[in-house]
Amino acid sequence: MQRGRFKPTAASYNPIIAHLCKEGKVDGAVKCLDQMVHRRCNPNEGTFSAIAVLCEEGLVPEAFSIIQSLCNKQKCSRYESFQVFEMMIEKGRMPNEMTYTILVEGIAHEGELELAARVLKELHLRHVVSPNTVERLVMQYDFEDLPG
């Protein structure tokens, strides 16, 4: 995508990512996102909207897996994670344990450990996430105790 002096922006990547997601070509979308990040082109709101297309196609775990990957590379924020989460619910796709876990991990990854712990406690109280998941996340993010 990069030739000569043209420096691609998120706006030039987003339609490609959206098309790949619409076609269910997750590997292609991931490669495109990796190339984007490698070229120091940060994802924007349009990028996350493109990823959210996977939710429309019924590929919710794949969408959140991509979001988690970007968050691990520090290329996304809690806002983008929640944006995809909201779009998923709007499209009638109910979140599952994996989806909620990725959301908690994204919040914790941003350094919002207290908020992540509160969300995790609420999910645990509602029996949305398993005790094993709670234990893993508590150990992984060194939560002192889940807030009472």
| Cβ atoms of residues 35 and 68 within 8 Å | no
Per-residue tokens: 23: 């076609």
Q: Identify the residue whose tokens are 């984007």.
A: 36
Mean pLDDT of 15-31: 93
Decide which of 120 and 145 is more confident.
120
What's phi and psi for 82, nearest 5 deg? Answer: -65, -35
Nearest-angstrom CA–CA distance, 25 and 66: 12
pLDDT digits (tens, 9 = 90+) for 45-90: 888 888 888 877 888 788 878 887 787 776 776 666 777 777 777 7
Nearest-angstrom CA–CA distance, 28 and 105: 25
Is the pTM higher than 0.75? The answer reads no
Domain ranges of the chain: 1-93, 96-148
Nearest-angstrom CA–CA distance, 49 and 37: 17
Mean pLDDT of 1-21: 84
Nearest-angstrom CA–CA distance, 45 and 12: 13
Decide which of 79 and 25 is more confident.
25
Give the model's confidence band at 1: pLDDT under 50 very low, under 70 low, under 90 confident, else very high. low
pLDDT digits (tens, 9 = 90+) for 81-127: 777 777 777 777 777 888 788 788 878 877 888 888 988 998 899 89
- 32 pLDDT higher than 90: yes
Say what the pLDDT of residue 102 is: 79
Say what the pLDDT of residue 126 is: 87
Q: Helices marked H in the chain — which ranges? A: 10-22, 26-38, 45-56, 60-72, 78-90, 97-109, 113-125, 131-140
| Cβ atoms of residues 112 and 78 within 8 Å | yes
